[in-house]
Structure 1
Amino acid sequence: MLTLTSPIETWAHPCRAGAKLAALCGFTLILFALDSPLWLGLCALLTAGVIASAGKRFGLESARMLRPLLPFVALVALWHLITRDALGVTIILRMTTAVAAANFVTMTTRLSDMIAVIQRLAKPLSPLIAPKALALAIALTLRFIPTMLARSQTIRESWQARAARPPRWRILLPTTLAALDDAEQVAEALRARGGTE
């Protein structure tokens, strides 16, 4: 679960984690400020270009990381086709571009570096919450999201291989149990390493 940093070395791996996270925040703000499909399409091309600049193997791995997003893209596209609303193109471009950019940062940044950056930013909150605990929680959440999407897709495919009916709500319980199991394993690993202290 904690190995989402790509082992394929790229030009972005040595870059400072803080700079990458700041660039991601700025880029995401721009994406949500834009409403034109043309400008969002250019942002998507820019993101694809940045990913492609890291090499073919990295690009393929990055594309694989976007697969769990496909059902959401299909759902949004279907809904906006039914309602004849052109806004669906804007939503899909914004969503896929933001996730692709976030994946790029995640895949080229070590978890320890991400935790260090968030910990520094959280220092003003130290009277309320331990900065290290908050940083670890945020970093683990970022790492868990694509993992849980992939896990739910695996559970969905397992159901479809055994039953003719679509799984729909029936995968909620096994997905929840899988999430709890992963969380327990991570908690045990953290305790074995001395927790967040």
Structure 2
Amino acid sequence: MLSLTLERQSWAHRIPVGWKLAILFALTFVTFPIERLDPLIAGIVLVVLGWTSLGRTGFRASLRALRPVLWFVVIILVYHLLVGRLHQGAVIVLKMLLLFSAANFVTMTSKLSDMMELVIRLLSPLRRVGFPPERIALAFALVIRFTPVLGQRGARLAEAWRARSARRVGPRIVAPLAVSALDDADQVAEALRARGGLRE
């Protein structure tokens, strides 16, 4: 599995993860009603400046993280261009890029263990009804860890398809990618059971 946390320490690493997630939540809440392009572009510029402050390695890693989103960007723009609503498509794309980039900045500058501790602390009242918050925190951590892995695996499957066929990839790699994800899930579940971290 791939770690999303940038090893090189920066000013953003010193900010408590709770504050960063709260700012991300507020940004999401504020962004959705916006229909103008200029504030969205300004927000993306600020995030890119944040990437720059992480150094060359952090900037490149942030750019690589955008690759899985580019397919959705192209599809959304082409669709809205065909239906004559390019402005609406541009707004959707900019919102997607802004929020995804900001979320990636948070994960890159936060330890996964700190995020899990925060989730457990926030969900601690669930213990009163007999539900351990550690399970939700574990699921949260696995989603964060596996998302870039699946993105990279999908890219490799697409490259393998293009090497063997002149036809477009399309949805043909969805089935093998899903099977691969299920196989990974089984392996992780077995590893957790072996360590006593998952019970039937």
| Alignment TM-score, normalising by the size of structure 1 | 0.91
Residue in 1 that maps onto 2:72: 72
Aligned residue among 163, 166, 174 for 1:172: 174
Q: How far off its partner does 1:190 sit?
A: 2.8
1:61-108 alpha-carbon deviations (Å, 9 max, x no partner): 111111111111111111111112110110110001111111111111
Does the C-alpha gap of structure 1 residues 192 and 5 become closer, same or farther in structure 2, counting only changes over 3 Å? farther
Contact 2:158/2:169 (8 A) holds in 1: yes
Aligned: 1:93 with 2:94: yes
Contact 2:2/2:148 (8 A) holds in 1: no
Aligned length: 197
Does the C-alpha gap of structure 1 residues 108 and 41 become closer, same or farther in structure 2, counting only changes over 3 Å? same
Aligned: 1:120 with 2:121: yes
Q: How far off its partner does 1:192 sit?
A: 4.2
Deviating runs (4+, > 3 A) in structure 1? 191-194
| Alignment TM-score, normalising by the size of structure 2 | 0.90
Contact 2:2/2:149 (8 A) holds in 1: no
Aligned: 1:183 with 2:173: no
Residue in 1 that maps onto 2:31: 31
Counterpart Cα distance in 1 of 2:77 and 2:188: 36
Counterpart Cα distance in 1 of 2:187 and 2:108: 22
Aligned: 1:12 with 2:7: no
Any unmatched runs of 5+ in structure 1? none
Counterpart Cα distance in 2 of 1:142 and 1:35: 29
Contact 1:132/1:196 (8 A) holds in 2: no
Residue in 1 that maps onto 2:105: 104
Counterpart Cα distance in 2 of 1:40 and 1:146: 25
Contact 1:51/1:58 (8 A) holds in 2: yes
Counterpart Cα distance in 2 of 1:114 and 1:189: 22
Contact 1:151/1:175 (8 A) holds in 2: yes
Residue in 2 that maps onto 1:162: 164
Counterpart Cα distance in 1 of 2:175 and 2:67: 22
Residue in 1 that maps onto 2:84: 84
Q: How far off its partner does 1:186 sit?
A: 2.5
SS in 1 for 2:167: coil
Residue in 2 that maps onto 1:137: 139
Does the C-alpha gap of structure 1 residues 2 and 186 become closer, same or farther in structure 2, counting only changes over 3 Å? farther
Question: Which residue type is aligned with residue 10 of structure 2?
Answer: T
SS in 1 for 2:84: coil
Counterpart Cα distance in 2 of 1:61 and 1:39: 25
Question: Which residue type is aligned with residue 83 of structure 1?
Answer: V
Residue identity (%): 42
Counterpart Cα distance in 2 of 1:71 and 1:191: 37
Single out whichever of 113-122 and 2-11 deviates more from structure 2: 2-11
Question: Which residue type is aligned with residue 165 of structure 1?
Answer: R
Q: How far off its partner does 1:132 sit?
A: 0.6
Q: How far off its partner does 1:137 sit?
A: 0.8
